[in-house]
């Protein structure tokens, strides 16, 4: 399978590069998402069998002040990519987020649950979803949550750094979701891409790590895995204000994805072991 990947330095893009070394991975220098037309042109010129968009604006808080820029990257660019892939007749796989929902309740969100993003980042990602669907081609929108790896900036790396410096940390305990290893996301995308090049349908699906947990409990697991004595104290979200409103409920119902592609939710505890081993050998 010849694969074209948008993204080179992000967590999932790096994992894709390792797992599919023959894939063509386009960084910002080759495909700037602030130029949707250039991204579309890259697809028009490729001989790839499938396209994966693993690039995005991920600065959630900054998006509150720069929503137009975030929407250009997360909305307009993937929409243009999807149209170009549809014109070529090849599958287009796109990563999205639980932030397209309102974060209310305590039940996992199904793929067909009504969307109601509560912040600018979520709105920008929803714009991308709508554009990908409107393009009319074979596509997969894969919503995920709480992405972690040994690459880039993420919660695990932050906790390891702070845990080595401090005796005690306060972490929000009323936000619940599934930490998802970037490696698992990359493997899922590759499996789905292969199936879709053989005619399997795509659609909108969910994929997140299991079991669901809180940020505070996740932090405790990180400290335990790394052998750090740092104590984690629970606090509510209201005691940790941020420019962008965070969802209290990030649980995702992933059963349809398992049924469609045979991919089970990854156990984030196993993923955490691998990440900590890489970062703290």
* CA proximity to 51, closest of 124, 101, 1: 1
Q: Looking only at Cα atoms, what is the longest distance across the chain? A: 56
* CA proximity to 233, closest of 173, 178, 164: 173
Q: How many other C-beta atoms are found inside a 10 Å radius of the C-beta of residue 136?
A: 11
| Residues in a beta bridge with 93 | 52, 140
* CA proximity to 280, closest of 185, 167, 161: 161
Choose, from 99, 121, 218, 257, the residue flagged as catalytic.
121
The string of DSSP letters for 238-273 reads GGS--SSPPPSEE-B--HHHHHHH--PPPBHHHHHH
Q: Which conformational region is residue 153 in: left (phi greater than 0), alpha (psi within -120 to 50 degrees), or beta?
A: beta
Are 186 and 263 in contact by the 8 Å Cβ rule? The answer is no
121 counts as catalytic: yes
Which positions are annotated as active-site residues?
Answer: 121
């Amino acid at each position: 399978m010849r694969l074209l990947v948008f993204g080179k330095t992000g967590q999932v893009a790096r994992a894709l590069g390792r797992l599919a070394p023959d894939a063509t991975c386009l960084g910002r220098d080759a495909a700037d998402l602030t130029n949707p037309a250039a991204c579309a042109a890259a697809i028009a010129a490729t001989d790839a069998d499938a396209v994966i968009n693993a690039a995005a604006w991920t600065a959630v808080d900054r998006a509150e002040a720069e929503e137009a820029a975030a929407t250009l990257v997360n909305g307009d660019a993937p929409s243009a990519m999807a149209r170009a892939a549809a014109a070529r007749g090849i599958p287009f796989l796109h990563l999205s987020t639980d932030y397209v929902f309102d974060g209310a309740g305590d039940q996992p969100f199904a793929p067909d649950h009504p969307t109601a993003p509560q912040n600018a980042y979520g709105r920008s990602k929803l714009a991308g979803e709508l554009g990908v669907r409107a393009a009319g081609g074979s596509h997969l929108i894969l919503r995920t949550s709480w992405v972690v790896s040994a690459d880039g900036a993420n919660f695990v790396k932050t906790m390891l750094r702070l845990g080595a410096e401090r005796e005690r940390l306060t972490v929000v305990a009323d936000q619940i979701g599934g930490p998802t290893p970037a490696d698992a996301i990359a493997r899922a995308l590759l499996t789905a891409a292969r199936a879709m090049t053989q005619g399997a349908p795509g659609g909108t699906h969910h994929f997140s790590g299991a079991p669901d947990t809180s940020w505070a409990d996740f932090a405790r697991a990180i400290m335990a895995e790394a052998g750090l004595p740092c104590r984690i104290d629970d606090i509510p979200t209201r005691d940790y204000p941020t420019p962008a409103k965070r969802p209290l409920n990030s649980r995702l119902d992933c059963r349809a994805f398992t049924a469609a592609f045979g991919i089970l939710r990854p156990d984030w505890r196993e993923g955490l072991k691998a990440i900590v081993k890489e970062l703290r050998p």
